[in-house]
Amino acid sequence: MNQVLEQFRQRVLDAGVQGTPLQLRGGGTKDWYGQAPRGALLDTRAYTGIIDYDPTELVITARCGTPLAEIEAALDQKNQMLAFEPPYYGDGATLGGVVASGLSGPRRAAAGAVRDFMLGAVLMDGHGEVLHFGGQVMKNVAGYDVSRLLAGSLGTLGLLLEMSVKVLPKPYAETTRQLAMSHAQAIEQLNAWGGQPLPISASAWCDGQLMVRLSGARAAVAAAEIRIGGDVVGDPDSLWRDLREQGNTFFADEHNALWRLSVPSVTPPVDLPGAQLIEWGGAQRWLQTSAPAAAIRAAASKAGGHATLYGGDDKSVGVFHPLAPAVAAIHRRLKTSFDPAGIFNPGRLYSEL
């Protein structure tokens, strides 16, 4: 792998001298996410392999090009998992892409986001230097945690080479219940349950049906089933997989743009035209709509949240919610520190980065 690493370093140094951008990419399954990729392709898949996996320590360390399927297969053998349920969005997804995109699945509200499981990372910066951040155990994570900062950065800060990620045991028992209720009732009920000691690991509402997944000890799951009621969902794995991978019929609308609104869970139904799907206990609202971007972002801001464009042809409105001036200044300073020549995935997050 040293030869591959040296090839990466030479590509970075040449790009810095020539001032030509590099498009960092693994399997390319998330090319659609964020602003349009640009620059000469630097394929990370040659830098692959699990470096260390200690099930007793609940941590796995692997290189950026390691297939996500390989990671999950290794964890499955020890009855462990990536608790944030990262989406694949197609064959070939890599661990580097998982961290760079920062995307999480249905279990995120209960377990945490990608960044919450980052223990350490190795990064190649714009000078071709290999930098080490964090470690492989929780006690090493202190101060300004750069390894977590890299989660969701879409490769704009540097070439993510290796990462150490916390893993968790799979639950002993798991079941999904389904209840009929309105949009407003679902939000109220989810927040009521959120204040109770219930083992809810995922939730979703769409088309008048609320689905709730219960995970944990068998006795806790059995007791929660009685309290929540409803009907048992026959094929829960397919249900949550389709939501995670956006294979649910809700996401098949080709005539409207798909937006993701991140808002406080108690926010009432968002008053915007189009179909809506709720996840994460009410904190994530998916919206299929023809409404203008300004109206969508105004509604999200009014609720105390933000809006991200996930699907639609017009990315000129900006995929990500505009940053406050002070926050934008921090982003620019970070970009300059790690990537002074501006060669790593320029404009992928925001045009000025």
**For 222-240, how does the pLDDT look when each residue is reduced to its tens digit (9 = 90+)?**
999 999 999 999 999 999 9
The fold adopted by the segment(s) 2-169+330-338 is: 3.30.465
Taking the alpha carbons at both ends of the chain, their separation in whole angstroms is 30
Q: Is the dihedral of CA 12, 15, 20, 26 positive or negative?
A: negative
HSE-CB for 113 with a 13 A CA cutoff:
13
Q: What is the per-residue pLDDT across 102-151, written as a single tens digit (0 to 9) for each?
A: 999 999 999 999 999 999 999 999 999 999 998 654 444 444 578 899 99
Structure tokens at 284: 């994530």
* Mean pLDDT value across residues 339-347: 96
* Domain layout of the chain by residue ranges: 2-169+330-338, 173-316
Q: How many CB atoms lie within 10 A of CB 57?
A: 14
Beta 275-279 vs 284-289: how paired, if at all? antiparallel
Compute, in degrees rounded to 10, the torsion defined by CA atoms 105, 326, 120, 348.
60
CA distance to 106, 255, 273, 289, per residue, from 109 (Å): 7, 30, 26, 25
**339 three-class SS:** coil
Question: Alpha-carbon distance 224 to 194, whole Å?
Answer: 13
**Residue 56 near residue 32 (C-beta atoms within 8 A):** no
Tokens of residue 299, six digits:
């509604």
More confident residue, 74 or 351: 74
Nearest to 278 by CA among 177, 175, 191: 191
List C-alpha distances in Å: 215 to 42, 200, 285: 40, 6, 23
Please report the pLDDT score of residue 136 as a whole number.
58
Cα 113 to chain centroid, rounded: 7
Q: What local confidence, expressed as pLDDT, does residue 145 receive?
A: 79
**pLDDT digits 0-9 by tens, 17-32:** 999 999 999 999 999 9
Are the C-beta atoms of residues 262 and 320 closer than 8 Å to each other? no
Instruction: Write down the pLDDT at residue 167.
Output: 98
Of 290, 286, 294, 288, nearest to 261 by C-alpha is 286
Burial classification of residue 18, based on how many CB atoms lie within 10 Å of its CB (0-12 exposed, 13-18 middle, 19 or more buried): exposed
Secondary structure class of 57 (helix, strand, coil): helix
